[in-house]
Structure 1
């Protein structure tokens, strides 16, 4: 029987390797470049991925240790993530790079060794191996975007964005709840234009509210890497419009998002 986690784990490895190529040859100045995330350098971005891979490995292999980590996160939700990034960012770049590479491979091995259907705790709902791999790919892509922006590099979108779009759609209700709002009872229709012009569709065709736009733009929105005013994602319906204001594909507190660059109004169906 084929492993349902294998395809997304393969894509996670490819996504990580693409980001690795961006940072592997940077000098100290490059690692110190500021990224669009306030207060975070390129080193902070890689340190955060390293820290989250470590947390993910604990969730898979040591639930008691992860429960302690999660309790510390709940005790300091506004600072916990930054503290983890700060601790790794002070390392010499070559040491940080080694830690990231080794940590992500340990996580790969742990996830591939799990029996089908196994679940383990996380900061949001419990995870399976495929869902954890998808979440790690989403985060690697998002933080990779910050690194690319800092370096002035334009990354070519890949079919791996399907994973990011999927988790963005799946996290709809979580986005409402983390803002203290009740999610809409009815599903939305989400229609995204894929990289080759194909349709990526989620939700019933006859849904009363819908979201449409380029897949890349939706992924940037759901990972809060761009403001909706700068993206070609559109909503039909008041609830769908609200979702575009608060969408987040990641677990944890609602992020501050990014300021609008275009000067266009933030809302509008």
Structure 2
């Protein structure tokens, strides 16, 4: 059984870590561009606030959630529109994000056992929703940290991101219009504390190995594969590293190799 209480505590901790990074920033720093084209630091936080609100609606008011989708002026720009809608002056945005993420935790706690929540193209358990929120909070936090030139120390919470990245192997192939693989893949990652996190059959011929931080950056498309110390053994594992995508929706544009873009080595 998944411990929802522990998951929600990790979601709160991941949010608080990012909050501590942005809260002291002067207003001009919130306008600093991030690696996501067209998105500032403020857009990144606004996106998290908007997505938390959509997740809260999914847990508390299904009709309102679906109405938010059908009333969008351009579904193809739903994510950008959400960030733009929630963007505000730093103090207002920070307060909105804090209130919204607290409300989401309360909402997920109250979902009856066994219920599934609507989401974009799928349905999710409260535990899966909490895991996805951890993944997104961490990933958008990476963009903020990159924009500010800050290196964040990885934590044990990355295990949630890594596990989600492994579980969405098939989604990465499907999102890119490729046939679902039939060969199982074993993933063995070096955790921040030096331990090993392993997913998949121990006897699988196809394997991915390397630092957990690099794997998480890959599956959230925060770094190009060429900039990461990941090793793929086998054709399926090798192809997966080109299409891996832990987030829902169409394939992301990904990131250019940092050396090619002049951004330097990964932080």
Please classify the TM superposition score into its range, dividing by the shorter chain length: over 0.9
Within 5 Å, give how 1:129-168 maps onto structure 2.
129-168=126-165
The Cα RMSD (Å) is 1.6
Deviations 1:197-217 (A, max 9, x none): 211100001112111110000
Deviations 1:96-123 (A, max 9, x none): 1111000000000001112222211111
Paired residue secondary structure (2:21) = helix
Deviations 1:83-108 (A, max 9, x none): 1112222x111111111000000000
Task: Identify if the C-alpha distance between structure 1 residues 3 and 223 changes in structure 2 by more than 3 Å, giving closer, same or farther.
Answer: closer
The corresponding residue for 1:266 is none
The corresponding residue for 2:22 is 23
The corresponding residue for 1:250 is 247
The corresponding residue for 2:236 is 239
The corresponding residue for 1:267 is none
Once the two structures are TM-superposed, the CA of residue 76 in structure 1 deviates from its matched residue by: 2.4
Q: Work out whether 1:10 is the aligned partner of 2:22.
A: no
TM-score (norm 1): 0.92
TM-score (norm 2): 0.93
Once the two structures are TM-superposed, the CA of residue 194 in structure 1 deviates from its matched residue by: 0.9
8 Å CA contact retained: 1:4, 1:116: no
The corresponding residue for 2:176 is 179
- How many matched pairs? 260
User: Unaligned stretches of 5+ in structure 2?
Assistant: 261-267
The corresponding residue for 2:109 is 112
The corresponding residue for 1:54 is 53
Q: Work out whether 1:43 is the aligned partner of 2:62.
A: no
